[in-house]
Every structure is written in structure tokens, then in C-alpha cells.
A = this chain, B = another copy of it.
Amino acid sequence: MSIQTRRERERAERERLIVTAARELAETEGWDAVTTRRLAAEIEYSQPVLYSHFKGKDAIMAAVAVQGCADLAVELRAARTAAKDPREALAAVAEAYTSFGRRRPALYDAMFTLAVDLPFATPEAPEPLWEAFRELAAVVEPIAAEGEDTGLLAETYWAGLHGLVTLMRSGRLPEPAHEQRLALLIGHFTAAL
């Protein structure tokens, strides 16, 4: 029994190692640099070992994405709880969200841009995804108008932030005006207050 559990522990440890290596490599050199060979070298195992843990490269990216959501949820929560009123909280979360996207682009892409087969808006979605989304929902809830669905409003607000981040990061929106656009978005979502 003990041997079995030790093995499982070591396996889990190595899996953590893979995900961490993938995340660090992606964050420092971008996802293009994360090849299965490179990753295998990084963890000092041979390539096929990766496939005994994950179905493929996509699954590794999905695991990184889940970690990223946990990180994002923490940052969003910090921003939300530090604010002293709902309006300020909305702005703080927006700032935290877009800052996350710009500061950790590779992580952000794995989470929200690249095609990874993670269940998202379903009960089967990993908990960290829900944690991050619930932060958005929590910050949006007080500014919801009469009869507005909080979940849908959170999704819409999220879409606005996501659009700003991705269009800016891909060079389609000029960086300098980011704060102004953010202010516009926040302004229009709090107009009713």
C-alpha cells in the first residue's frame, strides 16, 4: 500500500513539474518555444513521458490555463476587496484583469485565447475557472440594474475586458489609449448608478 502511494505521489510531483516547466517556458519565451522536446529536456525525462501524464500538448496547456485562472482569481479578489465602494471595485477589477493580460500574455492566451479543450461555462469546468468568473460576477452584481441577470452581465463585462486586452496585445488597438478605453467601458457599465 505504501509503495503504491509513494509512486502516486512521485507521479503527481512529476506532473506538477511538467505543468510548471510549461508555464515558465511559455511565460519567458512564448508558447512557440514550448515544444514537447524542449519540455522533456526541461524536466529531464524523455518525450514520451509527457504522454503518460497528458493526452497531448493541448492538455498540458489546459493544465497551465487552470493554474492561470487560479492566479487571476486571487488578483481579482484582492482588487475587489480592497475597493471601498461598488463603482471603485468595478474599476479596480477591470484594471487588475487587463493588467494580468498584459503582464502575463502567454498565460492569458492559454486561458482565454488559444483553443484548449477545457469545459468552460458548464458545471464540469475546473474550480479555478469558476473562482475567477465568480469574482467578475461578484463585482458586477451591485451595479446590475433592475431585472438584469448578474451572470449575463458579468459575461458581457468580461467580454469587454477580454476584447480590450486581446485587440491591444495583438497590435490592433493602440496601447497608449488603453486607460481611456477602460474608463469608457467602466463608465458605460456604471451609467445607471
Flag if A162 contacts B170 (CB, 8 Å). no
One digit per residue, 1 when the CB lies within 8 angstroms of any chain B CB and 0 when it does not, for chain A 169-193 equals: 0111110010011001100110110
Name the residue on B nearest A125 (C-beta).
B172
Copy total for this chain? 2
CA–CA, A173 to B156, complex, Å?
9
A interface, how many residues as a size bin? 20 to 34
**A156: which of B113, B155, B172, B181 is its contact (CB, 8 Å)?**
B181
One digit per residue, 1 when the CB lies within 8 angstroms of any chain B CB and 0 when it does not, for chain A 90-122 equals: 000000000000000000000011010000110
Flag if A180 contacts B162 (CB, 8 Å). no
CA–CA, A120 to B167, complex, Å?
10
CA–CA, A159 to B174, complex, Å?
12
Flag if B173 contacts A155 (CB, 8 Å). yes
